[in-house]
């Protein structure tokens, strides 16, 4: 699990720039030794599964995660088949992150639910049946189904019920949008039933704009704050959610500089 001598690192990318620049950024992270990259699903922004499929062909070791997609936007069975294809292209590096989704992804389609836990639970069950090639109450495997694959399913959430669901049913939790101080409850709930993998992406701003939901400062200062979060929460993977709107190559360079301080 957590190992001070080998800290797993990650970066979360918001797909608001060109597809080619995002794929290039993921390639840069892979070459630099970052362990996980997560691309968010914002509905009508750049399509995360297409981006990760392209990245699978130009990377060698980095874990490729969707963080997160919503079963309100996409049928879980089709999402599972897409994830299996990317997993095949990447030789087993795909991770599927589920969540309810936020206003940016659901709002344009006027989508909402009053059953967030049930929606995510059903998605995990359906995708799991597709991954295993097994019949379930929601899925009957056809003859043309792709061969079964083992793909970790994560839950990305901020509320206690979904994080407890992750601890019961999922392989891990993807926690973003937290600071060191606000992550306590989410991590406690995520570990309440069994010790699933915890990926903690702290929001970071490298410019002069401050944000109560993000750490801010130069890469060294951000790195020091990441070290505090690492020592405090002992996640399996620690990293940065890029929430600035600076050019992506610049943000990647700053993120790598901040993450490099964890190895000092």
Report how far residue 198's alpha carbon sits from residue 180's, in angstroms, rounded to the nearest whole number: 14
Please, are residues 209 and 245 in contact by the beta-carbon 8 Å criterion?
A: no
Q: How many domains does the chain have?
A: 1
Average pLDDT over residues 245-264: 93
For 108, the 3-state DSSP assignment is helix
Instruction: Confirm whether 191 is domain-assigned.
Output: no
pLDDT over 70 at 209, yes or no:
no
Instruction: Confirm whether 164 is domain-assigned.
Output: no
Instruction: Confirm whether 1 is domain-assigned.
Output: no
What is the domain-level CATH number for residue 44?
3.20.20.30
Task: Record the tokens describing residue 148, joined without a space.
Answer: 């079964």
Please give the residue range of the domain that contains residue 140.
Answer: 8-159+176-182+200-263
Quote the pTM value: 0.94
pLDDT digit string, tens, across residues 32-75: 999 999 999 999 999 999 999 999 999 999 999 999 999 999 99
The pLDDT score that the predictor gives to residue 179 is: 82
For every residue of 142-202, DSSP letters joined together read -TTPPPP----EEE--SSHHHHHHHHHH-SEEEEEEE-TTTTHHHHHHHTSSS--EEEEEE
Half-sphere exposure of 90 (CA within 13 A, CB side): 31
Please, are residues 176 and 201 in contact by the beta-carbon 8 Å criterion?
A: yes
Instruction: Confirm whether 94 is domain-assigned.
Output: yes
Instruction: Confirm whether 30 is domain-assigned.
Output: yes
pLDDT digit string, tens, across residues 147-204: 999 999 999 988 899 999 999 999 999 999 888 888 999 999 999 999 899 999 999 9
Place of tokens 């990377």: 59
């Amino acid at each position: 699990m957590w190992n001070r001598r080998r800290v797993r690192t990650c970066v979360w990318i918001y797909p608001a720039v060109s597809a080619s620049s995002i794929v290039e950024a993921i390639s840069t992270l892979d070459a630099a030794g970052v362990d996980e990259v997560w691309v968010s699903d914002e509905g009508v922004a750049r399509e995360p599964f297409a981006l990760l499929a392209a990245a699978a062909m130009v990377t060698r070791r980095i874990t490729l995660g969707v963080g997160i997609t919503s079963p309100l936007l996409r049928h879980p069975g089709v999402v599972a088949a897409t994830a299996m294809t990317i997993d095949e292209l990447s030789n087993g590096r795909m991770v599927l992150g589920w969540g309810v989704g936020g206003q940016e992804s659901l709002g344009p389609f006027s989508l909402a639910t009053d059953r967030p836990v049930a929606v995510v639970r059903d998605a995990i069950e359906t995708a799991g049946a597709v991954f295993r090639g097994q019949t379930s109450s929601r899925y009957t495997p056809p003859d043309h189904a792709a061969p079964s694959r083992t793909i970790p399913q994560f839950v990305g959430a901020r509320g206690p019920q979904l994080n407890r669901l992750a601890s019961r049913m999922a392989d891990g939790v993807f926690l973003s949008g937290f600071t060191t101080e606000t992550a306590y409850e989410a991590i406690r709930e995520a570990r309440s039933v069994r010790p699933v993998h915890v990926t903690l992406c702290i929001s970071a701003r490298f410019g002069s704009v401050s944000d109560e939901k993000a750490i801010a400062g130069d890469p060294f200062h951000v790195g020091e704050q990441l070290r505090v979060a690492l020592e405090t929460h002992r996640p399996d993977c620690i990293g940065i959610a890029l929430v600035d709107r600076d050019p992506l190559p610049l943000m990647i360079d700053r993120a790598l500089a901040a993450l490099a301080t964890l190895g000092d």
